[in-house]
Amino acid sequence: MKTAVTLSLTPQARGGPFVFWDDLDSTFALIGELGFQAVELFLPGPGDYRGLATRIAAHGLAVAAVGTGAGWILQGLTLTHPDGAKRIQARDFIRRTIDMAGSWKAPVIIGSMQGRRDPAGSRESSLDFLGEALQALGRHAAEQGQILLYEPLNRYETDLFNRQVEAAVWLKTSGAKNVRLLSDLFHMNIEEPDLAAALREAGSMVGHVHFADSNRRAMGSGHTDAAAAVAALREMGYDGYYSAEILPLPDSASAARQTIARLRQLLAPASLATAPLGTLVSSGEV
């Protein structure tokens, strides 16, 4: 089981689904004490974060992945932007993020930076832009020894790909190599009729998982059948991260604690997997 929790250092993303919002030593100490192996970073952009990387490593943590959505939030960039100059800037932003993340042995995520269909154009032309960008960026990630993660989002955030298998089939035919899916259980809850079936069908294309309940809170707060999703991932031999990209509710520490408890429960022997979570937390079983 590889576990991670999100940390945003992008104040403009406040209100977004990130558990921790500061890079204090006490934050990394708590993440380590809870038993997470890694942090997933949401940074304002590529830059010199050597101090941050050193502190993360000093606490025995790895970097699970690096998000690029700040390129959209702060600069309005997307890989499918109708303005060609913005598309070039978006690619450059991601390319430099890949270089930075590569030094941390982490893959980069393309989520919001995929953009949406140009209302004045066709979905096909937007997909052509996306496909060309993923080909180039997938090659660039390979040079860093990393995969590139492409994340289908729910219909309110993109109209390019909302579902796992559709995205997987398109990726395989688009010519993009070295690109795997980021399967976010929150988006999947909105779009997939059956989460476990979608994960199974996407199979080895699944490269990273955002472990979030239906209401984007810590698993166990909503109505997602996490047991079925995790069972499917285990059967498939999924060996990537379960990363909590969730709202920091009721507070960051509680959201992180509930996530790790639920993961331990789901990956525990069958006798514990069906017990009520509260009992296990209070009895110290998880």
Residues classed as catalytic: 151, 245
Minimum Å gap between C-beta 186 and ligand LER is: 7
Q: Who's near 40: CB < 8 A, 6+ residues apart?
A: 4, 5, 6, 7, 63, 64, 65, 66, 67, 241, 243, 245
Interface residue with ligand LER, options 112, 183, 221, 258 (CB under 6 A): 112
Closer of 244 and 280 to ligand LER (Cβ)? 244
| 136 CA to centre of own chain | 21
Give the number of residues in contact with ligand LER, rule: CB under 6 A.
12
**Residue 17 interacts with ligand LER (CB under 6 A): yes or no:** yes
The torsion of the CA quartet 150, 155, 158, 162, rounded to 10 degrees, works out to 30
Q: Which residues ranging from 115 to 144 are in contact with Mn ion (CB under 5 A)?
A: none
Q: Which residues ranging from 210 to 229 are in contact with Mn ion (CB under 5 A)?
A: 210
**Number of neighbouring beta carbons within 10 Å of residue 99:** 15
Interface residue with ligand LER, options 191, 192, 213, 245 (CB under 6 A): 245
Interface residue with ligand LER, options 38, 151, 195, 263 (CB under 6 A): 151
Interface residue with ligand LER, options 69, 115, 152, 220 (CB under 6 A): 69
| 201 CA to centre of own chain | 19
Indicate which of Mn ion, ligand LER, none lies near residue 138 (CB less than 5 to 8 Å, by partner kind).
none
Interface residue with Mn ion, options 184, 191, 192, 201 (CB under 5 A): 184
Distance in angstroms (rounded) separating the CA atoms of residues 11 and 1:
31
**Residue 152 interacts with ligand LER (CB under 6 A): yes or no:** no
**Residue 40 interacts with ligand LER (CB under 6 A): yes or no:** no
Closer of 65 and 232 to ligand LER (Cβ)? 65
Minimum Å gap between C-beta 138 and ligand LER is: 18
Q: From 20-28, 108-116, 172-180, 217-225, give the range in contact with ligand LER by CB under 6 A.
A: 108-116
Q: Is the N-terminal amide bond of 17 cis, ω within 30° of 0?
A: no
Q: From 32-40, 72-80, 125-133, 183-191, give the range in contact with Mn ion by CB under 5 A.
A: 183-191
Closer of 151 and 191 to ligand LER (Cβ)? 151
Distance in angstroms (rounded) separating the CA atoms of residues 65 and 164:
19
Binding site for Mn ion (CB under 5 A): 184, 210, 245
Binding site for ligand LER (CB under 6 A): 16-17, 69, 109, 111-112, 151, 153, 157, 184, 210, 245
